[in-house]
Amino acid sequence: MGYKQRIGLLVLLDSLIVSTAIFISSWIVYPNFDGINMRVMVITAIALLLFHHLFAFIYKLYHKVWAYASIGELMAIVKAITLTIVATAVVQFFVNDFTLLRRALLVTWLLHIILIGGSRFIWRIFRDQYMHDNTKKKRTLIVGAGAAGAMIARQLRNEHSHTDLLAVAFADDDMAKHKMQLYDLPVAGSTKDIPELVKEMEIKHIVIAIPSLSSSTLSEIVTICNSTNVKVQMVPKIEDIVSGKISVSSLKNVDVEDVLGRDPVELDIDSISEYVTGNTVMVTGAGGSIGSEICRQLMRFNPSKILLVGHGEFSIYTIDMELRKKYQDDVEILPIIADVQDRERIFDIVNQHQPRIIYHAAAHKHVPLMEYNPHEAVKNNVIGTRNVAEAADAFGIHTFVLVSTDKAVNPTNVMGATKRIAEMVIQDLAKRSQTKFVAVRFGNVLGSRGSVIPLFKKQIEEGGPVTVTHPDMTRYFMTIPEASRLVIQAGTLARGGEIFVLDMGEPVKIVDLARNLIKLSGYTEKEIPIEFSGIRPGEKMYEELLGEDEVHPEAVFEKIYIGKTVDVDQEQLRELIEGFSEYDHTKLKETLMKIVFVDSKKYTQAIN
């Protein structure tokens, strides 16, 4: 049916209802029309007809999609009809010798609401009940009978043609909601009842609709859901949702980041703003996983200028375009292609722009690759760090923050040893510089380039197997946003020479991570098997965040601890930096280990 035909049909239907309703009402109130002036009745009918179409036009009753009508549309009908009756009453008052047929008008008002409202909503009822084949849809359990769950339920009912999900029930831990109904769907039990509900109600799909869940609670619910072997999705977390924008299309698969992530840290906004707002900041490695997220987090605090320094052209282009799209009117964004190994270039950049704070995230981080390329690890992680740090010292930069790693503790590999030496470089500079030099040490970040999770996801997409090095290997994990926020916060705590250590929570077995990821991807271990490939060159079975001589138990800020300063052997350090190019592969690795280990026993264990 065309647009004009549809409006014409609605106008004709309303005209018929309105013009006859007054006569039906009068007959109900005054049987046989006793004492009724028919002239007044005709004028009243004409007035009702005219005023109804006037207010129907004002409230757009002929321009609404009634197949999706809800409370808003019902209120528009009530307002239009009420104003129609009031205006008609005024006309009747004057043409009927200042007398109103109050009861007849009241019944007319009720008839209009019933007949006009019913004529609109009958189409929605017919569509919902008879026009869709629900037998082919996946029976869906919604976890959470709150605002987000209600919105998902309503949209699943309204968007039949756009989704293959059919909501059949809610699960919620609020006992007061049990045995209640929301959008005609029962709140059938709590989250602990999910396995039973899946069996009883033949559930094929679960949607977790509680965006404010803490990661620990979400992990518990996901574990329960995974035991059912049905598909599990969730609405985005609360920090990713613009109010009222939750929709069926925004449902996402549950990721390991959602389960392993932790409750967000409340940052000291005032101290960060003092450092960042209105100032120039510089981030090296700005195109990398951590560097780019540090840039995103810094933009919240409105720096006057941000220097995106990196060696990779495409990665710098990508973060530059992303930031410009959101912030180019508020912050001067300057992409700079530069290699931290180029001392003259780095000095020129720092001298020209005079940043207040430098976040040094540029580094080679891949453990096995650096075992095969120790010279490149030294050039980038040690000499590159020294170049940026000495430029900060030379030009009086306020604060320099080195992004370090837990692999710098008792390192058994080249990457860890070079990052420990980078820490030594800035600790030495801190003793004789006006610049505040600090390092921030943390473990693996979820989803970073080169981390195990993207590898596992790719292996699962290819049908497996998922390769794990050893069944007992453990690692600390933190989400990229959390790590970046804590790096920024640690910079405000700097007094000079500290190694800040981020609370990484409990270590996670890599094999458990693989199993979770397989389940969250909708598979079983029979479909996607796990294979153990053996420990790779330079890898530890487990990581440490502090060495025995660095332990300092008190937190200086939520989830931020401080390690004790370790003395640096400057002669060994100079020897390494000035002569590393003359060493062969083996001698360079041995020299690195000698510098980072004072204890000969630890050194022997590390190189073996």
Q: Are residues 197 and 287 in the same domain?
A: no
The pLDDT-based confidence of 446 (bands split at 50, 70, 90) is low
**Tokens of residue 264, six digits:** 């967000």
3-state secondary structure of 169: strand
Residue 16, both tokens? 């018929």
Closest CA to 224 of 259, 252, 180, 179: 259
The per-residue pLDDT for 270 is: 72
Q: Is residue 305 part of a domain?
A: yes
Q: Are 444 and 309 within one domain? A: yes
- Percentage helix, strand, coil for the chain under 3-state DSSP, each rounded to 5: 55, 15, 30
Summarize the confidence of residues 140-169 as an average pLDDT. 80
* Distance in angstroms (rounded) separating the CA atoms of residues 370 and 298: 30
Q: Confirm whether 459 is domain-assigned.
A: yes
Choice between 539 and 595, residue whose per-residue pLDDT is larger:
595
Domain boundary, last residue among 112, 130, 148? 130
Choose one of 212, 230, 254: the last residue of a domain: 254
Mark whether 249 and 277 lie in a shared domain. no
Kind and range of the H or E element at 188? Answer: strand 185-189
Residue 239 CB coordination number (10 Å): 9
Tell whether 243 and 282 lie within a shared domain. no
Please tell me whether the peptide bond between 236 and the residue prior to it is cis, using omega within 30 degrees of 0: no
Identify whether residues 119 and 149 lie together within a single domain.
no
Residues 403 and 519 in one domain: yes
Structure-block tokens of residue 495: 């007094």
535 and 568, same domain (yes or no):
yes
Quick one: 184 and 308 in the same domain?
no
The listed range with the strongest mean pLDDT (90-99, 270-279, 285-294, 547-556) is 285-294
Torsion of CA 31, 32, 34, 37, to 10 degrees: 120
Nearest partner of 559 among 453, 474, 488, 475, judged by Cα:
488
User: Does residue 144 belong to any structural domain of this protein?
Assistant: yes
Q: What is the total count of domains within the chain?
A: 3
Q: Which of 407, 419, 519, 559 is catalytic?
A: 407
User: Residue 491 is part of a domain; what is its CATH number?
Assistant: 3.40.50.720
451: confidence class by pLDDT, cuts 50, 70, 90: low
Q: Among 108, 130, 152, identify where a domain stops.
A: 130
Check if 326 is active-site: no
**pLDDT single digits (tens) 474-507:** 776 777 777 787 788 877 877 877 888 776 666 7
> What is the pairing mode between strands 444-446 and 477-479?
parallel
Closest to 506 (Cα-Cα) out of 294, 221, 216, 222: 216
Do 391 and 501 fall within a single domain? yes
Tell whether 28 is covered by a domain: yes
Report the C-alpha gap between 80 and 145 in whole angstroms: 34
- Report pLDDT digits (tens) over 47-96: 888 888 888 888 877 766 555 556 677 788 888 888 988 888 888 888 87
CB contact at 8 A, 306 and 333:
yes
Hey, what are 201's tokens?
């109600």
593 neighbors 411 (Cβ within 8 angstroms): yes
Please give the mean pLDDT across all residues of the chain: 79
Collapsing DSSP states into helix, strand and coil, what is residue 238? helix
Q: What angle do CA 399, 354, 500 make, to 5 degrees?
A: 15
Same-domain check for residues 461 and 425: yes
Q: With b meaning 16 or more CB within 10 Å and e meaning fewer, what string describes 491-524?
A: bbbbebbbbbbbbbbebbbbbebbbbbbbbbebe
Q: Enumerate residues 6+ apart whose C-beta is below 8 A from 443.
A: 405, 406, 475, 476, 477, 478, 504, 543, 545
Residue 371, pLDDT > 90, answer: no
Domain residues for the domain of 126 are 3-130
User: What is the Cα 290 distance to its own chain's centre?
Assistant: 16
Over residues 165-193, the pLDDT tens digits come to: 888 899 999 888 888 888 778 898 999 99
144/121 same-domain check = no
Who wins on pLDDT, 507 or 115? 115
pLDDT at 181: 84
In a domain, residue 259? The reply is no
Dist. CA 295–CA 281, nearest whole Å: 9
As a whole number, mean pLDDT of residues 429-437 equals 91
CA distances in angstroms from 355 to 181, 333, 393, listed in the order given:
59, 13, 12
pLDDT band at 361 (very low <50, low <70, confident <90, very high): very high
Q: What is the mean pLDDT of residues 281-298?
A: 91
In this predicted structure, the answer to whether residue 405 has a pLDDT above a threshold of 60 is: yes
Q: How far apart are CA 498 and CA 439, in angstroms?
A: 6
Q: Assess whether 80 and 146 both reside in one domain.
A: no
Nearest Cα residue to 439 out of 553, 562, 286, 557: 562
Cα–Cα dist 580/592, whole Å? 10
On the question of pLDDT at 265 being above 50, the answer is yes
Give Cβ neighbours of residue 415 (< 8 Å, ≥ 6 apart): 364, 365, 366, 367, 370, 371, 377, 381, 405, 407, 538
**Neighbour count for residue 131 (Cβ, 10 Å):** 11
**pLDDT of amino acid 67:** 55
Q: Could you tell me whether strands 466-468 and 530-532 are parallel, antiparallel, or unpaired per DSSP bridges? A: parallel
DSSP state, residue 191? G
Tell me whether residue 375 is in a domain: yes
pLDDT over 80 at 522, yes or no: no
Identify residue 590 by its one-letter amino acid code. Answer: E
- Provide the sign of the torsion angle of the four alpha carbons 532, 534, 538, 541, taken in this order: positive
Rg (CA), the chain: 34
Q: Which residues contact 5 (CB under 8 A, 6 or more apart)?
A: none
Q: Looking at the chain, how many residues does it have?
A: 608
In terms of Cα–Cα distance, which of 101, 77, 107, 76 is closest to 89?
Answer: 101
Residue predicted with more confidence, 121 or 517: 517
CA-angle at 143, arms to 142 and 145, nearest 5° = 85
User: Hey, how many other C-beta atoms are within 10 angstroms of the C-beta on 117?
Assistant: 16
Residue 253 Ramachandran class (φ > 0 left, ψ -120 to 50 alpha, else beta): beta
Following CA atoms 193, 197, 200, 204 in sequence, which dihedral angle do they give, to the nearest 10 degrees?
A: -150
The Cα 378–Cα 588 span in angstroms is 9
Q: Residue 263: inside a domain, yes or no? A: no
Give residue-wise pLDDT tens across range 183-223: 778 898 999 999 999 998 989 899 888 877 777 788 788 88
What per-residue confidence (pLDDT) applies to 241? 42
Q: What is the pLDDT of residues 248-261, one digit of tens each?
A: 455 666 666 666 65
Is residue 260 domain-resident? no
The Cα 541–Cα 535 span in angstroms is 8
How far is C-alpha 240 from the geometric centre of its chain's CA atoms? 4
| Phi, psi values for residue 531, rounded to 5° | -120, 145
Q: Strand 231-234 relative to strand 252-253: parallel, antiparallel, unpaired?
A: antiparallel
